[in-house]
């Protein structure tokens, strides 16, 4: 009898344990975003299953179901644009092509500027990147002498304009050139830099690293070291550098099991933070407020016209305040990843912009005054890399080029210059200024009846498309032809420096208007009643499944009904034109 009771109790305990684990698992599942971005393991699995397929010459120009005459006009327009760019940029393109086979980054960006089915049909000149040899103010010059307004922002480095950073670099090197590349021994300027960063971050200690990714790695490592907990929380779509420890989905070749990807602005996510005992830190990318639960917008993903951006400062500030409270209560380290947003959103960065004090902050990019840098700032407790009572229990982090004298010099000039009355006034006015500029931008687009809309978070802008289209990615090439330099991600992220005057901003707007008008005249935004974002996505899915499973291709629905017939007609016309005469 006693044995039976013991067995019953053990079975009950086991059942309760299983039910508790199921409840915890369900709670975590509910906190994930419903998209593949919110499920890292599934996103990796699905990425491996996506087959490459390419639209041939007949389909390339009418993949939206446009009639043959529209396809022909697009073909002629692309040839004219190709001719113009080849003429404008002959030296730059030749130099870039020479590098492509030897520079892996260039190979990657040349393959991921547009949706992959169109890649093979795009002329070479559109795929290649840029080579530049001079900058001035808000502009950049390629090897052919073409000056363009720079909206690439040097990946976020260029907050104040290129002349500002060239002066920081020159003055900083002049202050440190007598020491040269001495590593391990500090240049005395480091003390000034540390004190200024402490004041800006509101934190106690500073460590220097070579890049923003490295700074994030160190912050996460220290959070785990001091809390003794294993997992970090990131929010769906947020980018924290290329380290696989904070990028668990597509792009990560190492399987990680110590990262929770939760939905942004989600009550279930807060419940996970408030109840789990294994969370060491929460990583916040302040820019994620601009495209919550979505990856950073890029033209390679412009399959239709469903780019989602938008910013509600008050709502996101309230969200961060709730996270701050839970992190304090649960001994979770709150890390602000300010590598991109630091010194842009406000003098004290996102902490000032949103009114939240973090436990640790990572900086990079612009803080180096034009030279490479990564910085971690944190409390005394979190920054310590050893335990006095356990001398062998350390968290080792060193780097050969940390605190390089030239970087310390440029950083010193940068930090002192942004304290000037002129730049402090600029900070006070900049949020309202950029909001008003974007409002003017949208007024111009609306007045010209162009299918574009601009959204922004401060001086970071993004282009959305208001009509269904499969060819929105073409706009980046028209913009280049009209004097605007973008990064390889295209129209998804336009990073503008504070050096843009009102007149220069208006000139950029006119470049956009002219480029979009030409693109519209070339019929890339052709419309029909059957064309919708839904039918575009269904067509793409059908094309992808046909490539993956050719045996069922004829059974799949084709929502853009005219496509196959038109493609066949165009192939027949081409075959007739190329058929040899007896």
User: What pLDDT score does 581 carry?
Assistant: 46
User: What pLDDT score does 582 carry?
Assistant: 46
The pair of three-digit structure tokens given for residue 231, joined into one six-digit string: 């997992």
| Residue from 311, 273, 280, 270 nearest 294 by CA | 311
| Bridge partner list, 493 | none
User: What pLDDT score does 41 carry?
Assistant: 83
Q: Which domains does the chain have, with CATH numbers?
A: 57-159+429-521 (3.90.1150.10), 202-295+311-402 (3.40.640.10)
**Separation CA 59–CA 571 (nearest Å):** 9
Q: Per residue, what are the HEC states of 117-163?
A: HHHHHCCHHHHCCCCEEEEECCEEEECCCCEEEECCHHHHCCCCCHH
| Bridge partner list, 132 | 142
**Is residue 360 packed enough to be buried (19+ CB in 10 Å), middle (13-18) or exposed (0-12)?**
buried
**Separation CA 323–CA 269 (nearest Å):** 10
| Residue from 491, 370, 480 nearest 144 by CA | 480
| Dihedral over Cα of 158, 161, 165, 168: its sign | negative
- pLDDT tens digits, 102-117: 999 888 999 999 999 9
User: What pLDDT score does 424 carry?
Assistant: 96
> What average pLDDT values come out for the chain (582 residues) when binned by 10 residues?
69 68 74 83 85 92 94 96 95 92 90 94 90 94 96 94 97 95 91 97 95 94 96 94 86 82 94 95 95 92 92 96 97 97 95 97 96 96 92 81 91 97 96 97 98 96 97 97 95 96 98 98 95 93 90 78 61 58 46
Beta-strand ranges (E) seen in 434-524 are 452-457, 460-465, 484-485, 494-495
User: What pLDDT score does 21 carry?
Assistant: 67
DSSP 8-state secondary structure symbol assigned to residue 472: G
User: What pLDDT score does 138 carry?
Assistant: 94
Pairing of strands 279-284, 333-337: parallel
User: What pLDDT score does 538 carry?
Assistant: 92
| Residue from 203, 458, 152, 185 nearest 334 by CA | 203
Residue 188's contacts (CB-CB under 8 Å, 6 or more residues apart) are none
């Amino acid at each position: 009898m006693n044995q039976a009771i013991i067995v019953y109790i053990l079975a009950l305990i086991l059942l309760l344990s299983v039910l508790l684990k199921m409840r915890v698992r369900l709670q975590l599942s509910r906190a994930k975003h419903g998209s593949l971005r919110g499920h890292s393991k599934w996103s990796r699995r699905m990425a491996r299953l996506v087959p490459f397929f390419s639209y041939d010459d007949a389909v390339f120009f009418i993949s939206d179901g446009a009639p043959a005459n529209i396809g022909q006009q697009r073909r002629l327009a692309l040839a004219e644009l190709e001719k113009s760019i080849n003429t404008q940029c002959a030296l730059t393109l030749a130099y870039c092509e020479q590098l492509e086979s030897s520079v892996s980054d260039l190979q990657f960006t040349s393959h991921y500027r547009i949706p992959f089915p169109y890649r093979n049909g795009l002329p070479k000149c559109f795929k290649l990147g840029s080579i530049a040899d001079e900058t001035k103010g808000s502009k950049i010059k390629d090897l052919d002498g073409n000056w363009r307004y720079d909206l690439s922002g040097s990946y976020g480095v260029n907050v104040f304009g290129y002349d500002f950073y060239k002066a920081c670099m020159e003055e900083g090197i002049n202050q440190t050139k007598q020491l040269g590349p001495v590593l391990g021994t500090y240049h005395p300027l480091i003390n000034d830099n540390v004190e200024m960063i402490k004041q800006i971050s509101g934190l106690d200690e500073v460590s220097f690293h070579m890049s923003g990714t490295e700074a994030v790695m160190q912050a996460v490592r220290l959070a785990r070291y001091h809390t003794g907990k294993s997992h970090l929380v990131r929010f769906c779509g947020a980018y924290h550098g290329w380290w696989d420890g904070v990028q668990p989905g597509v792009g990560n070749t190492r399987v990680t099991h110590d990262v929770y990807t939760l939905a942004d602005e989600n009550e279930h996510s807060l419940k996970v933070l408030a109840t789990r005992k294994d969370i060491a830190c929460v990583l916040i990318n302040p820019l994620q407020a601009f495209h919550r639960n979505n990856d950073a917008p890029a033209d390679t993903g412009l399959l239709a016209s469903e780019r989602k951006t938008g910013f509600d400062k008050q709502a996101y500030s309230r969200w961060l305040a709730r996270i701050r409270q839970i992190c304090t209560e649960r001994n979770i380290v709150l890390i602000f990843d300010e590598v991109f947003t630091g010194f842009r959103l406000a003098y004290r960065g996102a902490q000032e912009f949103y009114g939240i004090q973090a436990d640790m902050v990572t900086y990079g990019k612009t803080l180096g005054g034009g030279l490479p840098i990564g910085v971690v700032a944190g409390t005394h407790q979190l920054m310590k890399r050893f335990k006095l009572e356990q001398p062998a229990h350390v968290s080792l982090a060193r780097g050969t080029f940390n605190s390089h004298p030239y970087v310390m010099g440029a950083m010193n000039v940068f930090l002192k210059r942004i304290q000037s009355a002129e730049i402090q006034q600029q900070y006070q006015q900049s949020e309202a200024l950029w909001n008003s500029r974007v409002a003017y931008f949208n007024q111009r687009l609306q007045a010209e009846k162009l299918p574009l809309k601009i959204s922004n978070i401060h001086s970071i802008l993004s282009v959305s498309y208001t009509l269904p289209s499969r060819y929105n990615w073409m706009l980046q090439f028209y913009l280049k032809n009209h004097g605007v330099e973008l990064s390889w991600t295209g129209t998804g992220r336009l990073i503008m420096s504070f050096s843009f005057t009102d007149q220069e901003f208006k000139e950029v707007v006119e470049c956009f208007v002219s480029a979009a008008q030409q693109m519209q005249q070339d019929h890339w935004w052709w419309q029909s009643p059957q064309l919708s974002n839904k039918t575009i996505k269904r067509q793409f899915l059908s094309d992808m499944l046909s490539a993956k499973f050719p045996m069922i291709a004829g059974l799949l629905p084709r929502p853009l009904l005219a496509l196959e017939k038109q493609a066949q007609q165009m192939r027949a016309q081409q075959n007739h034109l190329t058929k040899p005469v007896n």
